[in-house]
Amino acid sequence: MEPKLCSHLSEIKEVKTSDDYVCEECVKQNSSWVHLRVCQTCGVTLCCDSSPQKHMTKHHHQTQHPVASSAEPGERWLWCYTDEIFVEY
């Protein structure tokens, strides 16, 4: 059975990846991160919700960019903040 996709996830034809292995905002704030995520709208790499600053979630709230992917090696998934849907690709 195929996972249910929202319109935001259905619009993604090619997943944006990153060669940045740092959270841009954490570096500016001299903070640390746990895992990294890539915004599928603008391509920015920011930290996950397990990180102290939760920059990707803050980015979503500020910009309304709906989907992020994992930037972690070996992980192939997308998360839609708007519809709260997780899908592996």
Q: Is position 69 within any domain? A: yes
Q: Is position 1 within any domain? A: no
87 CB-near residues (< 8 Å, 6+ apart): 3, 5, 9, 77, 78
pLDDT of 13 reads 95
Residue 55 sits in a domain whose CATH number is 3.30.40.10
Mean pLDDT of 27-51: 97
* Whole-prediction pTM: 0.94
What's the pLDDT tens digit per position in 8-24?
999 999 999 998 899 99
pLDDT of 16 reads 96
pLDDT of 3 reads 66
52 CB-near residues (< 8 Å, 6+ apart): 31, 32, 33
Residue 33 has pLDDT above 80, yes or no: yes
| Structural domain containing residue 68 | 7-88
Selection from 7, 10, 65, 5 nearest residue 37 by Cα: 65
